[in-house]
Amino acid sequence: MNKHDLAPLHLTLPNRLSYGLGGAVYAVMEAAYIMFVLLFYTQVLGLSGTATGIVLSLSLVWDAVSDPMVGSWSDRFKSRWGRRHPFMIYSTVPLGLGFIALFMPPDFVLGNQLWVAGWLLACSVWIRTALTFFSIPHYALVAEMTQDYHDRSALMGQRTAFMFLTTLLLPSTCLYFLFDEGAGGDGRFVASNYVTYGWLSALIVWITAAACIAGTWKYVSHGQIDPARQPSTPGFLGLWRDFLSTFRNRNFRNLLAYDLGATASYGITVALNIIFWTYFWQLPATETGLLLGVSVLIAVPIAMIFLKTAGRRMPKHDIVKWAVVVMMLDLSWPYLLRWFALIPDNGDPVIFAILVIQNAVFMSFFILRIVAIASLTADLTDEHEAETGLRQEGGFYAVLQFTSKLGGAVGPLYGGFALDLVGLQEGMRPGAVAQASLDALVWIGAAGIVPLMLIALFFSFRFSMTEGQLLQIQAVIARHRRDE
């Protein structure tokens, strides 16, 4: 055995939990951009919806371009701290500082649309770049920590559970305690509350990143692989060649096409959700916070139980198919009930219960989708090594993030356009928007979401990886290493 090919370490519960905490780092960004950035910059700072959408989409495009560079760089990086951990360590402090700046723009930019847009773009690029340096190497650790088909899903399940708990519980708690009705009125429209939120985001990033790095430190040696198995194409163009080489894998190409459609549809959904809950369903901030908190506390256990039971008997590619179908159906039924007058008016407790059920079901299957796709990607890095002899975990996860973020760029761009199209202007309060405009907003959302989900469903039938297939692939890799 080559000295670089170390025996696998046993995965303990603390190892799984500490790895999973890295998902919380990513989730802080998701929480900010899904729940608050669009609302803060349009309804509090007065930036137009279209301008906000364009700026957020530009930052996502930059993010998508930087991901492959960082992924390929980490694949070929050599240090006594391994290939992944140095990137994670040095990105943590800048990432936290970015959230403070995002929600605390200086006085000199306020009141000028161009300056506000520029500040949003600068902060978004800073945050997303720092997060790339943490999240891509963190993703790639999975394929190094274990080779087991189901253990990879378990690790991704932990990461996704922490990601969703943080993504929803952080804004849920803040909506209930920080953005509630106070002396200044609805706290969602008070600028000083967002300063506090920025500092809280930074603290959570620093604490969870440190815990993740410390808890996965014993796997540093597993990142120090035989140089013959590392990509070594020289120069900047070499990084791009490494990135493009991942597209040789047919399974991976179809998985990416699926993920692009699914992520774009999800981006539109989450960009508009806070608007629908605030204006269409007229939920106050406290109920919106409870909706997020209760639904995620229901969804995460359901998803984890499914992974431990049916997930061990159902191939990952089948989980992906069913998740898309259920999510597509789940998004529509509350609105159909409203239009056919089968539910009470806004303000009735039944409305809150319906939205909790809808959101919990959607989140449960979205978590399953994320876990299955991320775990499948780890398996496909093995397939890639069997075909090419190279380990490119960082490259594969960077490409996955690349397509996910390109898909995600659709959300704020489409959402900002939709807000301007229906005439939702700065400072408008729930109840002041015409119902016809809100109905039009729902139809505009559906016109973007449903076709993209159908595209995702089509490509979900074009890739597969069973446990038996993975074991055969790993046997081929083992033979190649013995023959070296």
- The DSSP code sequence of 417-438 is HHHHHHT--TT--TT-S-HHHH
Q: Is residue 9 part of a domain?
A: no
d(CA 54, CA 336): 31
Which CATH number does the domain housing residue 339 bear? 1.20.1250.20
Q: What is the pLDDT of residue 169?
A: 80
Whole-number pLDDT of residue 3: 45
DSSP symbol at 433: S
Q: Which tokens go with 212?
A: 């993740």
Identify whether 193 is part of a domain: yes
Amino acid 287: pLDDT: 86
166: tokens are 């943080």
Total count of domains within the chain:
1
pLDDT at site 168: 76
Q: Confirm whether 207 is domain-assigned.
A: yes
Residue 9 to residue 7: CA distance in whole angstroms: 6
pTM of the model: 0.73
Q: Is residue 470 part of a domain?
A: yes
- Nearest CA to 21 out of 205, 219, 222 is that of 205
**8 A C-beta contact, residue 68 and residue 395:** yes
* Structural domain that includes position 281: 19-223+231-483
What pLDDT tens digit does each residue of the chain (484 aa) get? 444 444 455 677 788 889 999 999 999 998 898 778 988 998 889 888 888 888 887 887 787 678 777 877 777 777 778 788 899 999 999 999 999 999 999 989 888 889 999 999 999 999 999 999 998 888 888 877 877 777 778 888 888 888 878 887 888 788 878 887 765 667 888 888 999 999 999 999 999 999 999 988 887 765 555 555 555 555 556 666 766 777 888 999 999 999 999 988 988 888 788 788 888 898 887 888 788 788 888 988 898 888 878 777 888 899 999 999 999 999 999 999 998 999 999 989 999 999 999 999 998 998 888 888 988 988 898 898 888 877 777 778 877 877 777 776 787 778 777 777 777 765 667 777 778 888 888 888 899 899 999 999 999 999 988 889 888 998 888 887 776 5
Q: Please check whether residue 1 lies inside any domain of the structure.
A: no
